[in-house]
Structure formats: structure tokens, C-alpha cells
């Protein structure tokens, strides 16, 4: 994950970083993926040897409470590669602002 963080320009971010930066964490055994019910079950990835792939999703949580979840997937695009827009920053920011307005 550190190489990906470096490539994204957030190489100084670590778990429990109190500076408000992005933290990248891995899920090598898919424990979180399975707990969140985000394991992709479409036969496509498994047919090419990709077992236990995580769905493309974004999650907004406050103090451990999930406030919003977005998943980019479609019947003909289970990985959300063709249209990941629901899980990209602009959509998530809009969702977060809407949640905050409702409070």
C-alpha cells in the first residue's frame, strides 16, 4: 500500500494519522470486504482467476458509524469500470454535504 500511497502523493499518511490525510489500508484476506458484503460474486472475474475481488465502493463513516455507501456496478459491468462515477470524489462529496444538510 505504501507504493500506491507514494504514487498518489500521500506517502506520509499512516493509519491513525491525525493530520486529516488519506490512509490507504489493504484487505489481503478479504475480511473487511466480506464483513461489508462487498465481495464481487459475478462469475466474470473468477473465470479469469480473480477470486474474492472487492466491489468498487466508497464508504463514508463518522466515528465508526457508516453514514453512506455507494457502489459502482451494473449488470453488464460488475466491476464498475465503465462508470465508476458513483464512487468518485464529486459524488461522495455531494452525498456527504446532503447528509450534513439533513442533520
Q: Please state whether beta strands 65-72 and 56-62 pair in parallel, antiparallel, or not at all (unpaired).
A: antiparallel
- In terms of pTM, does the model score above 0.85? no
Give the mean model confidence (pLDDT) for residues 79-98: 93
Is the C-alpha dihedral spanning 27, 29, 32, 38 positive or negative? positive
Query: Is the per-residue pLDDT at 72 higher than 90?
Result: yes
Mean per-residue pLDDT, 54-74? 91
Say which residues have a Cβ less than 8 Å from residue 52's Cβ, sequence separation at least 6.
30, 33, 39
In angstroms, how far is CA 36 from the centroid of its own chain? 11
- What pLDDT is recorded for position 14? 58
Amino acid at each position: 500500500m505504501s507504493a500506491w500511497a507514494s504514487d498518489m502523493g500521500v506517502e506520509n499518511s499512516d493509519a491513525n494519522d491525525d493530520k486529516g490525510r488519506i490512509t490507504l489500508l489493504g484487505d489481503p484476506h478479504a475480511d473487511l470486504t466480506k464483513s461489508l458484503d462487498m465481495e464481487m460474486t459475478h462469475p466474470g472475474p473468477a473465470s479469469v482467476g480473480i477470486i474474492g475481488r472487492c466491489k468498487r465502493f466508497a464508504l463514508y463513516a463518522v466515528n465508526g458509524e457508516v453514514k453512506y455507501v455507494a457502489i459502482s456496478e451494473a449488470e453488464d459491468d460488475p466491476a464498475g469500470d465503465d462508470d465508476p462515477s458513483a464512487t468518485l470524489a464529486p459524488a461522495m462529496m455531494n452525498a456527504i454535504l446532503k447528509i450534513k444538510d439533513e442533520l
